Amino acid sequence: MTGRCESIASRTASSRNSGEYLLALPNFPLVSLQDHRIGSLSGNLGAPQVAAASLHDIGYAPALAHTGFHPLDGARWLQDQGVEERLVCLVAHHTAALVEAQRRGLRAELEEFCFEDSEVTDALWYADLTSSPIGEAVDVDTRLGEILVRYGPGTVVFDSITQARPGLEAAVRRVEGRLAALNRR
């Protein structure tokens, strides 16, 4: 599984249309690094989580952007590549994507992919929400604040993040709690 996903990421990074974009995303490797750091939390965490952390924003690649909603575009592309369903679903629903999908009129399309309410989902959201766009490790408040400033009031992203914020923060706090418990051992 991991080998196949790494192969897909490598092929995508070498393509003219999407590779330049992916390589220009400083938080792309950091999210993966954050995810490796928390990977020992549970026996349920592992290859799908690490692959999802590496691929979660692949839908931003211009060659893959069909709806303009990157979680859905990325998931559909991964599905077309024959990637395992669990990984596809993790990418589709990363970081409370369903809230934004509703606002964009894409809820039904996103719901074609199963939502996994699990430690793996929490860990992926944690990795995404503690990595800045310029590749720095940040706390969740800083990351969410950056998103709100970047998109501005009245935009779909701003309104979606504002609505989803309690759930996003709760996922991060759950992972922080698990990490603290693990560090006490």
Report which of 77, 58, 182 is spatially closest to residue 128, judged by C-alpha positions. 58
pTM: 0.78
How far, in Å, CA of 90 to CA of 116, rounded? 7
pLDDT one digit per residue (tens) for the chain, 185 residues: 333 333 333 433 343 233 333 333 434 444 444 544 555 554 445 566 667 777 889 999 999 999 999 999 999 999 999 999 999 999 999 999 999 999 999 999 999 999 999 888 998 899 899 988 877 889 999 999 999 999 999 999 999 999 999 999 999 999 999 888 887 87
Calpha distance 10→31 (Å, rounded): 16
Question: Three-state SS string across the chain, please?
Answer: CHHHHHHHHHHHHHCHHHHHHHHCCCHHHHHHHHHHHHHHHCCCCCHHHHHHHHHCCHHHCCCCCCCCCHHHHHHHHHHHCCCCHHHHHHHHCCCCHHHHHHHHCCHHHHCCCCCCCCHHHHHHHHHHHCECCCCCECCHHHHHHHHHHHHCCCCHHHHHHHHHHHHHHHHHHHHHHHHHHHHHC
pLDDT of residue 109: 98
Strand partners, 131: 137
For residues 74 and 55, the answer to whether their CB atoms sit within 8 Å is yes
| pLDDT confidence of residue 39 | 53
Q: Which of 177, 132, 138 is nearest to 38 (CA)?
A: 177
